[in-house]
Amino acid sequence: MLLRRSPGGRRPTARVRRLAVLTGTHIVNDFYQGATSAIIALLAVRHGYSYVGVTGLLLAVTASSSIVQPILGFLADRHRTPWMMSAGVLTSGVGCALLGITEGYWLSCAAAVVAGLGIAAYHPESARAVREVGGDSATAMSWFALGGNVGYTLGPLAASPFLLWLGLGASPWLVIPAVGAAIAGGLAMRRRSEWADRERARSNTAWARDNWRAFGWLTLSISARSAVIVGVASFLPLLFIREFGVTQQMGSNSLALFFAAGLIGTLVGGHVADRWGETLPLWFGYAATSTALVVLAVAPLPWIAWMAVALLGVGSYLPFGVNVTLGQRYLPGRAATASGVTLGLAVSVGGFLAPAFGLIADGAGLNAALLTLAIMPIIAMVAVHRLPAVSNDAEK
């Protein structure tokens, strides 16, 4: 069941509406993550950045997000911070808008940092709010995660043609959706006190059951997965442009296909987890991801590469929403902290590895970089093997 009736008798439809608003703000927030990747690719073509330069800009986004996000999650667990979600999505929009009009490399890095800080502020509070509305349902979290995937997919799909048509100087117009999402999110967070009070009371008595060892293994698996996501975001458009000779728009569309396939993987992962257990989508997802990366690296024809991208998107996103739910179950007393790590720190760790993969791509080619990335899902599978089972009723 997606959402359960609250003890106070609140209609499930009201909870579904609240989840819909949270999912909508996630669409907008992660739209800027996808748009940032597209803008960086356009900046690389415009200024002739190397692979290391491209991954350096992505590192600026991911590093700023990863450093701050767990701290903000800890604060959200201890204090009421409903404003953080709206402030985050607005800041991420401003950073993305500024990125397109920067001229120097270091100014571009500064704008990327602003976007990363906004991403950091948004996720812990919003994911904790989803837990308050949806309980421990992996399906509810997967719908919320789906919003992020939709936004991430729309980012390059919408931003690339828009900026190719009007030029990078039109990027300030991209801030408009952030303003609307900030207002809608602020109104939603003001009306969540009933579920927030119940969740905070439960968290205050659940901290003693926090399983940090299991959470550590989960964090390792998410970190390995994040290296794949960041690597694909860095290299995929350039792979199709430089290896298969497609246009810039078609190169961006390859990234859009990757994230669109991820929409399917996210929803399927949540349903599978609620029906057959949380680790099953993790196993299948990481196995498919490693296979797809190898096929993509050796693909002799474009259509084979396109099929590999679709499999890569489904496989790498099967664990997405499930990882957040598992993190919150392993740390039932620190839901926002768990969200900050599973959606922030662990996901952003891949950004720290991105320059290393950029060096491999510069020195040995994109195919070698993709084959190296294929090792990361195997590491994730080793970590998943160490995860203990957790009951849906563990927190009750």
Cα 260 to the center of its chain, rounded Å: 13
pLDDT of residue 315: 95
Residues 242-250, mean pLDDT to the nearest whole number:
79
- At the topology level of CATH, where does 12-385 sit? Growth Hormone; Chain: A; (1.20.1250)
pLDDT digits (tens, 9 = 90+) for 33-78: 888 888 888 888 777 777 778 778 877 887 777 778 778 887 777 7
With contact defined as beta carbons under 8 Å apart, do 336 and 76 qualify?
A: yes
pLDDT at 278 over 90: no
pLDDT digits (tens, 9 = 90+) for 104-129: 888 888 999 999 889 888 888 888 78
Residues 347-355, mean pLDDT to the nearest whole number:
70
| Cα separation, 282 vs 389, whole angstroms | 13
pLDDT digits (tens, 9 = 90+) for 180-190: 999 988 887 76
pLDDT digits (tens, 9 = 90+) for 301-339: 888 999 999 999 999 999 988 998 899 889 887 877 888
| Cα separation, 220 vs 382, whole angstroms | 9
pLDDT at 295 over 90: yes
pLDDT of residue 25: 93
pLDDT of residue 281: 93
pLDDT of residue 1: 47
Contacts of 145 (CB under 8 A, 6+ apart): 26, 266, 270, 320, 321, 324
Instruction: Reduce the DSSP state of residue 319 to 3 states and report it.
Output: coil
pLDDT at 152 over 80: no
- Counting beta carbons within 10 angstroms of the beta carbon of residue 264, is it exposed (0 to 12), middle (13 to 18) or buried (19 or more)? middle
- What are the angstrom distances between the C-alpha of 309 and each of 94, 156, 229? 31, 15, 12
